[in-house]
Amino acid sequence: MTEDDTPALAAALPAAPIREIIHGDRNAFFATLEQRDHPELRGQPVAVGGSAERGVLAAANYEARRFGVQLGHAVCARPPAMPGAGLCPAPL
């Protein structure tokens, strides 16, 4: 193969497929589902987690994150100053 063959070879190769990257915020997914199922929770801080004694938070919406709620925190350690906070049990 010589340099003269390079353009012909490139033309014979199929075009590279276009890569698409989809980003989904799955950290808030379960909180969003709770807001969908319970419209009275819309616009309020919502956290989804296990039992109040030993559970951890699995999801929190953006309203709850403004109060410092983070995933993996113990449910009993969530900030008490969240007005109108909804703590929903984790779906099984």
Which range of residues forms the domain containing residue 34? 23-89
CATH number for the domain spanning 84: value is: 3.40.1170.60
Number of structural domains (the chain) is 1
Q: What per-residue confidence (pLDDT) applies to 81?
A: 60
Q: What per-residue confidence (pLDDT) applies to 58?
A: 84
Q: Is residue 6 part of a domain?
A: no
Q: What per-residue confidence (pLDDT) applies to 22?
A: 79
What is the pTM assigned to this prediction?
Answer: 0.60
Q: Which amino acid is at 66?
A: R
Q: What per-residue confidence (pLDDT) applies to 39?
A: 92
Alpha-carbon torsion (50, 56, 61, 66), positive or negative: positive
Helices (H), the chain: 6-12, 29-37, 62-65
Which portions of the chain are predicted below pLDDT 50?
A: 92
Q: Is residue 7 part of a domain?
A: no
